[in-house]
Amino acid sequence: WLLAYVGNVIGCLGTVAFVAWADIAALGDGAVGETALQIARAKADLPLGEAFARGLLCNALVCLGVWLAMGGRRVADKILAIVFPITAFVAMGFEHSIANWFFLPFGLMLDEQGTVSIAGAAGNIAAVTAGNIAGGTLLVAGVYWIAYLRGGRTQEG
């Protein structure tokens, strides 16, 4: 988990650098940058309990998407399987730590007035990461363990 997390964080920060280099924030007469800044501000201002709960719910849907994709035989099957859970978590405003590792640093970079709290950004990432871990381990893996493996039993046994 730690290696995957660190690798994803490095990828997000690299993406922030490339997006900055490409001046993506200037697109739409600056509307793209302003929207990214508003997203970062909202994430940094989110109370920690809500951030945790949104992270928990998010990773339950992400794990559902992964689980569904594993059942697909072709690439098209796998893509179709992940579309609905991922679309749902985005549409409902759930929080994913890796996505936040892009939005929060990008918003901080764009924030010339200092309206995005660094402490709020760090708290969001910590709470959402904890929620993502709890959502994946308790709501998904834990439920499958209870349903299929508890007590050493398997479906065959």
**Mean pLDDT to the nearest integer, 130-137:** 93
pTM of the model: 0.86
pLDDT at 156 over 80: no
Distances (CA, A) of 68 to 19, 82, 89: 32, 7, 15
* pLDDT attached to residue 73: 94
What's the rounded Cα separation, in Å, for the pair 19 and 116? 19
Q: What is the pLDDT of residues 41-82, one digit of tens each?
A: 999 999 999 999 999 999 999 998 998 999 999 999 999 999
Q: What is the pLDDT of residues 107-124, one digit of tens each?
A: 999 999 999 999 999 999
